[in-house]
Amino acid sequence: AASSVEQDVVIIGGGPGGYVAAIKAAQLGLKTTCIEGRGALGGTCLNVGCIPSKALLNSSHMFYEAKNNFAHHGVIIENPKVDWTAMQKQKDTAVSGLTKGIEGLFKKNKVEYVKGWGKIVGPNKVEVALSDGGSKIIDTKNIIIATGSEVTPLPGVPIDEKKIVSSTGALVLKEVPKTMVVIGAGYIGLEMGSVYSRLGSKVTVVEFLDHIVPTMDSEVRRTFMRTLEKQGLSFKMSTKVSKGEVVGEKVHLIVEPSKGGPSDKIEADAVLVSIGRRPLLKGLGLDEVGVKMDNRGRVAIDDHFRTNIPSIYAIGDVVQGPMLAHKAEEDGVAAVEIIAGKAGHVNYNTVPSICYTHPEVATVGITEDEAKAKGLAVKTGKFSFMANSRARAVEDADGLVKMIADAKTDKLLGVHIMSANAGELIHECCVAMEYGACSEDLARTCHGHPTLSEAVKEAAIATAFGKPIHM
């Protein structure tokens, strides 16, 4: 049946892009509907991404510390053990609490939540196959596509979500595997690889390129890889997996050098395929309506999140830019501001990326390699956490801050931090860059003592004046 009231905006997808856009749209006074088919709000991020992975990273870190580092601090626990069921339950409770919280926010802000799978059937019409059965047509002035992404499959290595898993299966393995092969040394591979390594799995990461996380500063990622190796992860670089099959309880993999050469066999109890994600647009009706794609299979948009059809917008993982929850949220807010006639805008130069391993690696702005490739004259400053009093006091001093600024104007262009809590430390740099600050501005800002943040200040001093104080 047709819905009686025409909506100002219908958002397809209830992930961080879609649900944040919906709340903001309603706050701006727009009649707003959000359609979500998975049965819970929060998208990939809350249900099978950011949140459950961070829960397991935290629990596994506590176990690792209890086993390896507590005694040194005078805390004696005989033979700490993992209760995998309890660990899973803690994660699930965190997830369900948060997804229900969004339903509450929808009610509070008067967003209509329609449960089902949406399909665009015209520039101003969305059909929903309702979760409870039947279907419904919603008329709307504007549509926002916020359907997110799915795992990129690897030909020859079929995912069964039991033995050969994507990140989704990796969050709910029946038991901690004795051996695990991770294909792809990116964000998912290193985070989930760390989880299982800490819990006792022998983890081997197979990476196509000769370096891990391609988007990180090369100096930082070299230090990062050495640290992960010290923690027990092993890496097979410049290697590709050509075939994988489940044989009894094991997975047999055929690997070969990326550039070709003799192949080799490896066996594991579980294999994680984490070679990237791709936009999820199946069954959305984009072809029929004539929405254009870009050359990488994403929805093509202009600077105002508008597709080639003026009433249809797209945000988050389905469009260009980093596939990150906070980026999707910024897209969502800016898109509905534009729909409401305001000046929505996102500054992608100040979107941070954070890898939540231990230590964490956080990045904002350009890397030194990118600066060189662009022919920019830059200066850099560095500071090691070995010289930071707080990091030394708590004996968690692996890592560094590296800052990149314009050689002439001193304007901050990028900051790269590897340390405990780097994901929190990076934000003063994001704010500084948003305000167009120089490294000297950070260098002259008083930082509390003793804090890890003082390492950021010291790196700024090194960038602005050539030498830090404490190193």
Residues belonging to the binding site for FAD are: 54, 118, 147-149, 317, 323-326
* Contact between 49 and ligand FAD per CB under 6 A: yes
Active-site choice (73, 345, 427, 449): 449
Q: Mask of contacts with ligand NAI, 172-191, x by CB under 6 A?
A: -----------xxxxxxx-x
Size of the residue set binding ligand NAI (CB under 6 A): 27
Specify the residue, 117 or 187, whose C-beta has the smaller distance to ligand NAI: 187
* Contact between 12 and ligand FAD per CB under 6 A: yes
Q: Pick what 214 binds: ligand FAD, ligand NAI, none; C-beta below 5 to 8 Å, kind-dependent.
A: ligand NAI
Say if residues 459 and 381 touch (Cβ distance below 8 Å).
Answer: yes
Two structure tokens written together for 164: 């050969």
Q: Pick what 316 binds: ligand FAD, ligand NAI, none; C-beta below 5 to 8 Å, kind-dependent.
A: ligand FAD
Specify the residue, 205 or 437, whose C-beta has the smaller distance to ligand NAI: 205
List all residues 6 or more positions away from 22 whose beta carbon is below 8 Å from its beta carbon.
Answer: 11, 14, 32, 33, 34, 106, 109, 111, 332
When binding is defined by CB under 6 A, the residue of 106, 118, 212, 429 that contacts ligand FAD is 118
Active site residue 449: yes
Q: Pick what 326 binds: ligand FAD, ligand NAI, none; C-beta below 5 to 8 Å, kind-dependent.
A: ligand FAD
* Contact between 64 and ligand NAI per CB under 6 A: no
Specify the residue, 204 or 453, whose C-beta has the smaller distance to ligand NAI: 204
* Contact between 35 and ligand NAI per CB under 6 A: no
* Contact between 158 and ligand NAI per CB under 6 A: no
* Contact between 240 and ligand NAI per CB under 6 A: yes
| Annotated binding-site residue numbers for NAD(+) | 184-191, 207, 276
* Contact between 190 and ligand FAD per CB under 6 A: no
Specify the residue, 430 or 464, whose C-beta has the smaller distance to ligand FAD: 430
Specify the residue, 209 or 254, whose C-beta has the smaller distance to ligand NAI: 209
Q: Within 239-298, which residues bind ligand FAD (CB under 6 A)?
A: 280, 284
List all residues 6 or more positions away from 172 whose beta carbon is below 8 Å from its beta carbon.
Answer: 88
When binding is defined by CB under 6 A, the residue of 243, 326, 411, 447 that contacts ligand FAD is 326
Specify the residue, 82 or 280, whose C-beta has the smaller distance to ligand FAD: 280
**Catalytic sites, residue numbers:** 449
Q: Which residues contribute to the site for ligand NAI (CB under 6 A)?
A: 154, 183-189, 191, 206-209, 214, 240-241, 274-277, 322-324, 353-356
Q: Which residues contribute to the site for ligand FAD (CB under 6 A)?
A: 12-18, 35-38, 43-45, 49-50, 53, 117-118, 146-149, 167, 188, 280, 284, 316-317, 323-326, 328, 356
